[in-house]
Amino acid sequence: MEEARHWLPAAAAAALLLTVWGAAGVEVRNWGGDIATNCAEFVTVRSADDIVEVVRDGESYPAPVRALGSRHSNTKVIMADGGTVVNMRKMNAILGHDESKLTVTVEAGALYIDVSEYLQKHGLMHYVNTEFGSISSGAAAVAHTKDAAFVGEHGQISSYVVGVKIVTADGDKMTIDEDNHPELLRAVRSSYGLLGIVYEVTFRVRPLELIMLWHRTYTLDDFLSKLDDIRSSGTSVMIYYYPYEDKMTVEFRAYHNNPAVNASEPNFLLSGKPLSWWASLQFRVRNGFWGGVGPVFGRFINQMAAAPEWLTNGMASAFSAFLGLAGPFMSGGINYPPAQMHRYPDDTPQGQKIAFSLFSFPAHTFPDALRAYYAFCQDHLRRTGWRTSLPHVGYRLYRDHSSLLSHSTEDESLSFDPVTVPDEGWYSFLEEYNEFCAQWGGTPLLNQTPHLKARHVQAQEAYGKALPQFREVRRRMDPQGRFLTPHLRDLLGL
């Protein structure tokens, strides 16, 4: 047994950041600081029995009862107004791994990056090595996540959850796994805590393996003409979009022993040494960009509101052009996938925080949607004078129905994910962006697509087919609405 402990020295400070006590109860804010909920009770639990006590005592701990992890959702899934927030961060033990079954079992409060570091010591790694390593394991097990999938794999963390232990609405402990409750597990993987409070998670893992990484920059027309070849290249595909410049940079990743890629790519991609200073530098530079340099520059652009529009737009465009030219720097690296994970601590300065919003689109409609999206972003800039201050990103996910509310259930999908340092213009942009994506049949992520309305979620193109099944499961598991929040009730039609 080994505990995830990297964040513990800052626990006292983090607790102060988490809550502000007041006459009306406790205010809890998300990591970004832009969403707050006022709960009646804020409880830090240290065992499953503590959770049982909270769930069973409805008088002392009013509904809705909501588990809190690392607070990195940027939507109102955090909301528990008038209810009870259960802080899971003290339940952060790594309980061990099974080398024969290739699984690791952890408490829900263990941060994903801490679990990853534990696995690497044993020659193992997660299937999904998401850049955002600070997500708690409990949240990763029941919420939407995103990453570019490798061939034959999934890009959502919860797809590799093979079992959970939860406290149900009756206050009972229940084990849900692939052997005993496979269909219920599908619902849990995208349940957002509506079926119970997860306190223990078992992930399927794999042996640690090297990957290659390289980039190509395209114009919009060139990218669309080559999209079929890109999709069939046998690689993982992540995209950096520059919609105001009609360009994008594609990040390709492949396992080092991938014969199809080895045969087709230039030899220099195969000449690097594993974990060389070059490969290590590449990931440090990329993580440093998203964790510091990029947001600082984006905030600088935002603060130049009084400057001529041609100057601020020109600076932002020059910055995008520089990033596009940096593609060759990120090519040729050979490293382990967990190296892309980044730790976003609780005390990250406000000036280094970013905002984003994701919709996924079926592969067969994506080309037309992408062209329309570039036109939409450019038109919004012309009309309002506002643009995002950082590159947009996107991910290719293979068809994946591991979770009931998967955002790639029907087809392979690709996504839009605008990124910026938030200001007032961002929130206005989101209103139009959500309408645009919904009209084009996009599927939102409940925890990563802010300002959603019920019609964006309940559309047939999004979760329409799966929602009736999820509603029935939720009614069966929580008939009295112990875990149900008004926000999720309205979004999902519960």
370-395, pLDDT tens digit by residue? 999 999 999 999 999 888 888 899 99
Q: What is the pLDDT of residue 275?
A: 46
Task: Tell me the per-residue pLDDT of 434-458, one tens digit each, with 9 for 90 and over.
Answer: 999 999 999 999 999 999 999 999 8
Q: What is the pLDDT of residue 410?
A: 81
pTM of the model: 0.85
Provide the angle, in degrees to the nearest 10, between the axes of the packed helices 424-439 and 366-384.
150
Residue among 49, 376, 66, 417 nearest 238 (CA): 417
Helix (H) or strand (E) holding 319: helix 309-325
Q: For residue 99, give the amino acid letter.
A: E
pLDDT tier, 302 (very low <50, low <70, confident <90, very high otherwise): low
Task: Tell me the per-residue pLDDT of 70-101, one tens digit each, with 9 for 90 and over.
Answer: 888 889 998 999 999 999 999 999 999 999 99
Give how far Cα 165 sits from Cα of 111, 198, 199, 260, 428, Å.
Answer: 17, 6, 6, 40, 41
* Cβ partners under 8 Å of residue 21, min gap 6: none
Give how far Cα 254 sits from Cα of 337, 388, 397, Å.
Answer: 10, 30, 14
pLDDT tier, 109 (very low <50, low <70, confident <90, very high otherwise): very high
Please determine, for residue 334, whether its predicted confidence score (pLDDT) is greater than 70: yes
What domains can be seen in the chain, in order of their start residue? 1-208+467-494 (3.30.465.10), 211-335+349-452 (3.30.70.2520)
Residue among 342, 358, 360 nearest 294 (CA): 342
384 is written with which tokens? 């309002």
Helix (H) or strand (E) holding 381: helix 366-384
53 is written with which tokens? 């006590």
**Which alpha helices (H) appear in 24-154, and where do they start and end?**
48-56, 112-121, 137-142
470 is written with which tokens? 């999820």
d(CA 305, CA 461): 38
Upstream peptide bond of 64 is cis (omega within 30 degrees of 0): yes
* Cβ partners under 8 Å of residue 304, min gap 6: 311, 312, 315
